[in-house]
Amino acid sequence: MSEISIYRGNIVFSETEKKLAEYRDSYIVVEDGIVEGIYERVPDRYAGVPVADFGSDVIIPAFSDLHTHAPQYPQRGLKTDALLKEWLDKYTFPLEGRFSDPAFAEAAYDAFVDDLVANGTFHVVTFGTIHEQATGMLIEKLEKKGIYAYVGKVNMDENSPAYLCERTEESLLSTERFLEKYCGSRRAKPILTPRFAPTCSKKLLFGLGKLAKKYDVGTQTHLVESRWEAEEAKRLFPDCGCDTEIYEKAGLFESGLFVGAHFIFPSEEDIRLLSMCGGYAVQCPDATVNVIAGIMPTASLSARGIKIGLGSDVAAGQDVRVYSQVAKSVQLSKIKSFYEPENQVVTFAQAFFMATKQGGSLFGKTGSLAPGYAFDALVIGGLSDPFMPLSPVETVERFCCKGGPNNIRARFLGGKKIG
């Protein structure tokens, strides 16, 4: 027998990349965790089903974070006084080294996962560290919470601090153990995670390519993140004309799931290859401002068919709130357009689409409240002024600009109320 729930309130979600759907004072029917429909009145066939009334609050899809670093969570909001390479060497790599200690890892990952739930991020793509045990702990915690996730045991075998530099064969063996243990019908799944080309040997990357094919598993990495990284990648791999080609030649496009974080300085060949494999680029606005010093040409890439999601990129970004990245994506696009008029401004509707429907598509039928989508949803409110009520769409925009967990009145994951 089907489990049916009905909720009344205002409803907002992305209809298309450029258009938000807004349903005022409406009813959303959820059957076995899936949206059945949205109605002005409850259909007769559902007579007698209790209705949870959220009044003037707004029901929206939960958020998807396509790039973050769970082990960097203790560093959020700190150490942003350096650009990328110095920031990694001076601050971030030493912190990641501490995840060889299971007790430290457990405490940090508990806090990280709880913060995701508090802020309505129910789908996440995250880096772990090189440490197999700690990264297994992370994937298990996400699975226990019911969060949809892709979690990577990081691979690094050169140009890295000694305490994070793996022997190539051991890196591949530990990665295969991780895949064998966690592949399968889970919500939290493994993903191959070469940190970025300058920290990986050709032998390691091609070995990961074989694992991608053997286990039909995707890949995440940092892609043309900074000018330094893009040039260093080409120097270390002289037979490749661009950063993205390194992964293509290694066989890491084989599964069809490829996530390239940042994609700030892509060449024409980078764009062609990412488009060819159907990969996702991830804009991380806070990280851009804090440690990277470059702005993704978001609107231009989207117009060329590149799928773009948003990422918090903790701890280059200062917190896990993906909704705040919606507002900042719009802001950064204005700066980009001012200095480079050929780049268009990102609209609020477009940025919200990236954080919900586009990002959610990586995990299946989620990120929307249209019929057939999983009811992974948030109820937000408390954002209007007493003297001037906001429309539902205005409520969502204000939430993305200045909201917080206190504005999330209820959370639903797969139709079940959580938190």
The 3-state secondary structure of the chain reads CCCEEEEEEEEEEECCCCCEEEEEEEEEEEECCEEEEEECCCCHHHCCCCEEEEEEEEEEECEEEEEEEHHHHHHCCCCCCCCHHHHHHHHHHHHHHHHHCHHHHHHHHHHHHHHHHHCCEEEEEEECCCCHHHHHHHHHHHHHHCCEEEEECEECCCCCCHHHCCCHHHHHHHHHHHHHHHCCCCCEEECEEECCHHHCCHHHHHHHHHHHHHHCCCEEEEECCCHHHHHHHHHHCCCCCCHHHHHHHCCCCCCCCEEEEECCCCCHHHHHHHHHHCCEEEECHHHHHHHHCCCCCHHHHHHCCCEEEECCCECCECCCCHHHHHHHHHHHHHHHHHHCCCCCCCCHHHHHHHHHHHHHHHHCCCCCCCCCCECCEEEECCCCECCECCCHHHHHHHHHHHCCHHHEEEEEECCEEEC
Asked if pLDDT for residue 1 goes beyond 80, the answer is no
pLDDT bracket for residue 185 (50, 70, 90)? confident
Dist. CA 38–CA 28, nearest whole Å: 4
Q: What are phi and psi of 60, to 5 degrees?
A: -130, 165
**pLDDT per position as a tens digit, 160-170:** 999 999 999 99
Same domain, 137 and 104: yes
Dist. CA 356–CA 261, nearest whole Å: 17
Q: Which residues contact 287 (CB under 8 A, 6 or more apart)?
A: 262, 311, 313, 316, 317
**pLDDT per position as a tens digit, 202-235:** 999 999 999 999 999 999 999 999 888 889 999 9
Residue where a domain terminates, one of 363, 378, 406: 363
Q: How many domains does the chain have?
A: 2
* Range(s) of the domain holding residue 91: 63-363
Same domain, 256 and 341: yes
pLDDT, average across residues 110-130: 98
Same domain, 37 and 178: no
Asked if pLDDT for residue 186 goes beyond 90, the answer is no
Same domain, 229 and 249: yes
Same domain, 53 and 183: no
Structure tokens at 325: 């990245």
- Please tell me the predicted confidence (pLDDT) of residue 292: 87
Same domain, 21 and 115: no
Asked if pLDDT for residue 254 goes beyond 90, the answer is no
- Please tell me the predicted confidence (pLDDT) of residue 256: 79
CATH number, position 371: 2.30.40.10
Same domain, 155 and 243: yes
- Structure pTM? 0.97
Residue where a domain terminates, one of 316, 336, 363: 363
Under a CB-based contact definition with an 8 Å cutoff, are residues 270 and 298 in contact? no
Asked if pLDDT for residue 257 goes beyond 90, the answer is yes
CATH number, position 199: 3.20.20.140
pLDDT, average across residues 244-265: 95
Same domain, 133 and 226: yes
Asked if pLDDT for residue 90 goes beyond 80, the answer is yes
Structure tokens at 359: 């990002």
Same domain, 17 and 100: no
Asked if pLDDT for residue 100 goes beyond 80, the answer is yes
Dist. CA 11–CA 2, nearest whole Å: 23
Same domain, 32 and 99: no
- Please tell me the predicted confidence (pLDDT) of residue 147: 97
Same domain, 261 and 188: yes
Same domain, 327 and 371: no
pLDDT bracket for residue 31 (50, 70, 90)? very high
Residue where a domain terminates, one of 344, 363, 382: 363
